[in-house]
Amino acid sequence: MSGDAGERDVERIVREVAAPALAALARRFGDFAACEDAVQEALIAAAAQWPREGVPESPRAWIVHVARRRLIDHVRSESARRQRESDAAAEIMTGGDERETQEEMDDTLALYFMCCHPSLTGASAVALALRALGGLTTEEIGRAFLVPAATMGQRISRAKETLHATGARFDLPGPRERAARATAVVRVLYLIFNEGYATSSGEHVYRTDLCGEAIRLARELRRLMPENGDVTALLALMLLTDARREARVGPNGELIPLDEQDRSHWDRSAIAEGKALVEESFSAGRIGEYQIQAAIAALHDEAASVDSTDWRQIRDLYVALMGLTENSMVTLNHAVAVAMVDGAEAGLALLEPLSLDKRWRSNHRLEAVRAHLLERAGQRDAAIESFRRAAEQTVSLPERNFLILKAARLDAR
Amino acid sequence: MKYMLIMNAPRDGYAQFMRWPKELLQANMAFMRAFSQKLRESGELVLTEALGAPTEAKLVRGDEAGRMITDGVFPESKEYLAGWWIVDVQSEARALAIAAEASHAPGMPITRADGTTIDHLWIEVRAVMGK
């Protein structure tokens, strides 16, 4: 036992060993769903025991050992198999954690592919990834998504059933398929990050730090696939966006928009790391969505103010992005960039056709962007009305409060 | 014992709220936040949710084949659910006291659908049935 560790240290260690421990077990025993349950039980046991008794010399071997015992408890199987298992366990116990082999890294990567399998819906993959890769408990994941633990537990079991039904195998796909599968993994990590970022209002004190977890998983994924430009760009995008988190929320949980943020509260070291990664991902060749989004985030982060931001380049990057994705937010952001370069009226003109489109009806983001541009254009009354309409349409409380206060502030002038 | 504390508002209640002066809005938002936090810390809060504007609400029923028929919001409805707290407390008296505190959030008088004005929103207190 390596002596006393604080609860936070224990939490960190538990999360770090979750994925490699599960990967090792799944590789040896095959039954992914049962292994995942067993590892979860072992992680919960570790969280209770380690703060009291100290962290074991090899945390991963401890988790694997305990999980293996749980597996045997749950599935009493034929003696030959048991013999095989105990041989495997002995090997794990003596193996220790000293050096990770290429094979172990491949297993962990295979686990990423498994949890972010294309057959899973976004919500299921997110839940499964947070538990199996992130080492979070069902309770914690439920809290982060504001649903009861029982509901989250069901979502996770269904995800595992889906994997079983589609015959998803715990294997590293060949080089050709690997890139496509990596795209799915990147998407899931991005969803986790966005969930954390969009709700990071401070309203929910028990919220698990999803952004931090998404960044940790992206870092790990990059270590496993350093040659993949999308993964590098994703990590860059997360760091460059998360760098502004402190400055983004006011004392009452209200959102503070980019142009009103105190930029001295931005995390400089995260920005520096993110920028270096953007450059690296661009030099890796193929330019995709994540590279462009990260480049845009970097341009915002390096500007001293909104007015000194390189809006021309941002506009051009959005044009490129529109060619790659149907994402409606990109269209709106492009209109904002155009407004910053060519004036608010030019931006407003781009919004016109959107408001006639049925798909955009009751979309608060369109209305909110229109409100901002009307304000910039000096059309005060129209802007107030537009802010209030956006406030009626949004389903986010911090965002609603922000929009109402914007209207009230303009009204008071 | 569990109670649901229900806040109702007239259909245009959100529009009225949105026209309050900035300082009052900020005081109201800070109150709501602190109020929930206090209940959470006392261990009495089970769940609280605020609902979107009634003007965005849809009414749905199904026909015989279970197909969806949507309607707009019935304009004759007087009151709309704006949000709720579910609390788990020792007594009904405690639930009533919490409701009174919620009703006293900073704000302006609200004009109801029948034209009368109330200083503070009513909070309806209902027992949650056990299962």
Dump pLDDT digits (tens) for A265-278.
999 999 999 999 99
Selected for mutation to probe chain B from A361, A363, A397 (highest B CB count within 10 Å) is: A397
Is residue A363 predicted with pLDDT exceeding 90? Answer: no
**pLDDT confidence band for B32 (50 / 70 / 90):** very high
Give CA–CA dist A235/A291, Å, rounded: 10
Do A407 and B18 make contact, defined as CB atoms within 8 angstroms? yes
pLDDT digits (tens, 9 = 90+) for A297-355: 999 999 999 999 999 999 999 999 999 988 888 999 999 999 999 999 999 999 998 88
Pairwise pLDDT comparison (A380 vs A7), residue with the higher score: A380
Q: Which two tokens stand for residue A201?
A: 């209002």
* Furthest CA-CA distance within chain B: 52
Provide the ipTM.
0.85
User: Residues of chain A with pLDDT > 70: what percent?
Assistant: 90
pLDDT digits (tens, 9 = 90+) for A52-73: 999 999 999 999 999 999 988 8
| Mean pLDDT computed over A207-217 | 83
Amino acid at A66: V
Q: Which residue of A has its CA nearest to B54?
A: A392
Contacts of A394 in chain B (CB under 8 A): 52
Pairwise pLDDT comparison (A10 vs A93), residue with the higher score: A10
Amino acid at A53: E
Is residue A200 predicted with pLDDT exceeding 50? Answer: no
Q: Could you tell me if A238 and A278 are in contact, meaning their C-beta atoms sit under 8 angstroms apart? A: no
Contacts of A408 in chain B (CB under 8 A): 18, 20-22, 25
Is residue A201 predicted with pLDDT exceeding 50? Answer: no
Cα A266 to its chain centre, rounded Å, is 20
Nearest to A253 among B20, B33, B50 (CB): B33
| Mean pLDDT computed over B43-47 | 93
User: Residues of chain A with pLDDT > 90: what percent?
Assistant: 56
Contacts of B105 in chain A (CB under 8 A): none
Do B52 and A397 make contact, defined as CB atoms within 8 angstroms? no
Nearest to A408 among B15, B22, B33 (CB): B22
Secondary structure of chain A in HEC code, one letter for each residue? CCCCCCHHHHHHHHHHHHHHHHHHHHHHHCCHHHHHHHHHHHHHHHHHHHHHHCCCCCHHHHHHHHHHHHHHHHCCCCHHHHHHHHHHHHHHHHHCCCCCCHHHHHHHHHHHHHHCCCCCCHHHHHHHHHHHCCCCCHHHHHHHCCCCHHHHHHHHHHHHHHHHHCCCCCCCCCHHHHHHHHHHHHHHHHHHHHHHHHCCCCCCCCCCCHHHHHHHHHHHHHHHCCCCHHHHHHHHHHHHHHCCHHHHECCCCCECCHHHCCHHHCCHHHHHHHHHHHHHHHHCCCCCHHHHHHHHHHHHHHCCCCCCCCHHHHHHHHHHHHCCCCCHHHHHHHHHHHHHHHCHHHHHHHHHHHHHCHHHCCCHHHHHHHHHHHHHCCCHHHHHHHHHHHHHHCCCHHHHHHHHHHHHHHHHC
Say what the pLDDT of residue A332 is. Answer: 93
Nearest to A392 among B14, B21, B33 (CB): B14
